[in-house]
Amino acid sequence: MTLSLILILLLPLLLFLPIFLPRNKTRFYTICATLAAAPILVLYLLNLFFPSLQLQERIGNTFFVFSAFLYANRVELSQAEMVHLSCNFFYLYSYILVYILSYIVVKLLFIGQNPAIQKPISTIRKVFDALLFFVLTYGILFFFLVDIRILFPFGDGFLSPLMNMIYRIGR
Amino acid sequence: MDGQLKFYLLAETGGWDCSAYAFAYRTTILQSDAYQVLSLNVLQAKKHLSTIAQDIVNQYENMKIEPKTLSEAFVLETKIEYLALHSFPEFYLNPLAIDPNYNSEVTSIGELMFDFKGREVPLNQIILDDTVSLEDKKELVDRKLDDFLGDMNNLVSISIQTVQKRAFAKENEKNSQELFSTLLGIFSFVVMQVIFFFMLVIDNPFYYASYYDPQPQYVTSYTVFMLPISILLFDVIYSLFHIHKARISEPFMYARRFLKRYQQQVYDDILNKKRDLYDYICGAINTKIILKDDIKDFSKLSSSYIDFKEVINVSSLKERKSYRILQALTYVFGTIAWIVLIISLSVFIISKAFGGRI
């Protein structure tokens, strides 16, 4: 069992959903996922392009208590790694919270398109819809699991070089 | 009824007991051409949602072919002949409520039967008739179209009532109960993933030692592999069930969302279609051109707004074999996953508490 294997097994689950779900359902989930992912992506990109802001450290330190119970007693983790983990758990909590709130709001407002009207939809449009859903769900999950993989009891597996590009353990 | 039976009928009115003849006549009624035709036509009429069609079906199904007197036999025979005649599509089709997949002998609105001078005649015959003024013809058509409109509006009302209930709620189940069941299922799914995730991230070297050195005498050697496999299988089945459920209920769910907000728009759309149909028929009346191949041109059953047929037939969704199979598999794999999870969690906690493999 490795993290790469887990990620590969999860891939078809989240890839087949937008392909086989009705269009309205896919759009609904994509809207919720977009709203949930937006704040995280903004913070992530700000941290990437403006490292002087030290956003990740500030968020990690501020929200340390909300996830410290998972790894505070792990002596092998450095302070920087714990702050990094704390920041990523904050991203997770905020994604879930915003997703739930978006779900409730969009459920009240969303109607969608009449499925009885069989308008020909271009393949490019279908691929785009599926890709967007996939990126906003599996993509977010992928990055999260890679960033916190130091907590897992198994190794990285064959995707280790990619994972190290995203986050190298020990830095 | 032949002359002899009519004589017995007369005798019955005079007080004679002729019930034996009524009972014997039952077989004649059942073997009559009218009854055979009615039995066959009702199968087609059942597929149409118009009030007249459903009325004929209901009358047929509620008909008691057990005449106790000759009077009852006479009434029954007349009723069967009437229903047999009116069980043909020309008598019950509503051009505003034609199934888009309808494919039968009636191909034009001109073949539909209208009440004209005390008789039922095809519309095309009325169009070609020279004995009645154009205005009278148009008034007659308008009255009939009002009936069609009322019928279609009735379908919309039934649809609006139907969408008040959730798609997969049982007959006597409230919406809140079905919603609770659904949310419980989702909650169960999410909690399982969360517990599994926490078991991965919380440090327990004794539990995960079995990944690298599985020993048959330790329970952890089994749970550490069984748990992810059972959860993965449950995730796959749950996803398949959710996808299938979403696909089969999508027309209904869309209609539900739409009708909650745009009811008046639907009624207005049907009214506009009725006006279009009236103008179309009046054009034919003015020019004395018979109508051809247009039976589906004015249907609003599966409109740009919603598919009423899918809405009214929603109760059949949960009877589908595929739905029931996937639902059963979800329950089975979910139960197995939960049992394995509880055992694994117990072993995890115990191994962490006592600092050793179990």
Q: pLDDT tens digits for A19-74?
A: 899 888 999 999 999 999 999 999 989 988 998 888 888 999 999 888 888 887 78
Partner-chain contact B251 A116, CB within 8 Å: yes
CB B341 within 8 A of CB B195: yes
CA distance to partner chain A, nearest, from residue B91 (Å): 28
Q: Look up the ipTM and state it.
A: 0.87
Chain centroid to CA B319? 11
Give the model confidence (pLDDT) of B153-164 as tens digits: 888 888 888 888
Of B1, B55, B56, residue with least CA distance to B25: B1
Q: Which of A79-83, B182-186, B309-313 has the least mean pLDDT?
A: B309-313
B138 has pLDDT over 90: yes
Q: What pLDDT was estimated at residue B337?
A: 94
B274 has pLDDT over 60: yes
- Pick A116's closest partner by Cβ from B225, B228, B307: B307
How far apart, in whole angstroms, are the C-alpha atoms of residue B113 and residue B92?
8
Q: What pLDDT was estimated at residue B191?
A: 92
Which helix (H) or strand (E) covers residue B115, if one does?
Answer: strand B113-116
How far apart, in whole angstroms, are the C-alpha atoms of residue B316 and residue B60?
22
Give the burial string for A9-22 (b: 16+ CB within 10 Å, else e).
ebeeebbbbbebbb
Partner-chain contact A154 B211, CB within 8 Å: yes
A118 has pLDDT over 70: no
How far apart, in whole angstroms, are the C-alpha atoms of residue B162 and residue B155?
10
- Pick B201's closest partner by Cβ from A70, A111, A117: A70
B20 has pLDDT over 80: no
Residues of A whose CB is below 8 A from B251: 115-116
Question: Could you tell me which residue, B103 or A147, shows the higher pLDDT?
Answer: A147
How far apart, in whole angstroms, are the C-alpha atoms of residue B352 and residue B163?
52
Give the model confidence (pLDDT) of B297-329 as tens digits: 888 876 666 777 777 777 778 788 899 999 999
**Res. A135 pLDDT band, cuts 50 70 90:** very high
Residues of A whose CB is below 8 A from B235: 13
Counting one residue from A and one from B, how many pairs have CB atoms under 8 Å apart?
71
CA distance to partner chain B, nearest, from residue A157 (Å): 14
Residues of B whose CB is below 8 A from A71: 201, 203
CA distance to partner chain A, nearest, from residue B232 (Å): 8
Alpha helices in chain B (DSSP H): 3-13, 19-31, 33-45, 51-61, 70-86, 89-92, 123-128, 134-162, 175-201, 205-212, 220-261, 263-287, 308-312, 321-354
Please enumerate in sequence order all residues whose Cβ is within 8 A of that of B179, keeping only pairs 6 or more positions apart, or say none.
B166
CB A26 within 8 A of CB A125: no
- Pick A13's closest partner by Cβ from B211, B236, B304: B236
B47 has pLDDT over 80: yes
Q: What pLDDT was estimated at residue B304?
A: 61
CA distance to partner chain B, nearest, from residue A164 (Å): 19
Residues of A whose CB is below 8 A from B307: 114-116
Interface residue A112 vs chain B (CB under 8 A)? yes
Select the highest-mean-pLDDT range: B73-77, B159-163, B202-206, B341-345. Answer: B341-345
- Pick B200's closest partner by Cβ from A112, A113, A153: A153
The angle that helices A55-62 and A79-109 make with each other, rounded to 10 degrees, is 80
Interface mutation vs chain A, best among B191, B250, B313, B326, most A CBs within 10 Å: B250
Partner-chain contact A153 B204, CB within 8 Å: yes
The angle that helices B70-86 and B33-45 make with each other, rounded to 10 degrees, is 50
Q: What pLDDT was estimated at residue B103?
A: 79
Partner-chain contact A16 B243, CB within 8 Å: yes
Q: What pLDDT was estimated at residue B168?
A: 81
Interface mutation vs chain B, best among A27, A110, A111, A145, most B CBs within 10 Å: A111
Count helices and strands in chain A by DSSP H and E runs: 8, 0
Q: Which two tokens stand for residue B351?
A: 């191994």
Q: Which two tokens stand for residue B97?
A: 């409520």
Give the model confidence (pLDDT) of B217-264 as tens digits: 888 888 888 898 999 999 999 999 999 999 988 888 888 888 888 888
Interface mutation vs chain A, best among B179, B182, B200, B304, most A CBs within 10 Å: B200
Q: What pLDDT was estimated at residue B236?
A: 92
Q: What pLDDT was estimated at residue B285?
A: 93
Partner-chain contact A116 B236, CB within 8 Å: no
C-alpha distances in Å from residue B113, one per residue of A97, B88, B108, B124: 61, 10, 11, 9
B333 has pLDDT over 80: yes
CA distance to partner chain B, nearest, from residue A50 (Å): 30
Q: What pLDDT was estimated at residue B1?
A: 65
Residue A157 gets the label, from left (phi > 0), alpha (psi -120 to 50) or beta, of left
Residues of A whose CB is below 8 A from B208: 153-154
Helix, strand, coil % over all residues of chain A, rounded to 5: 75, 0, 25
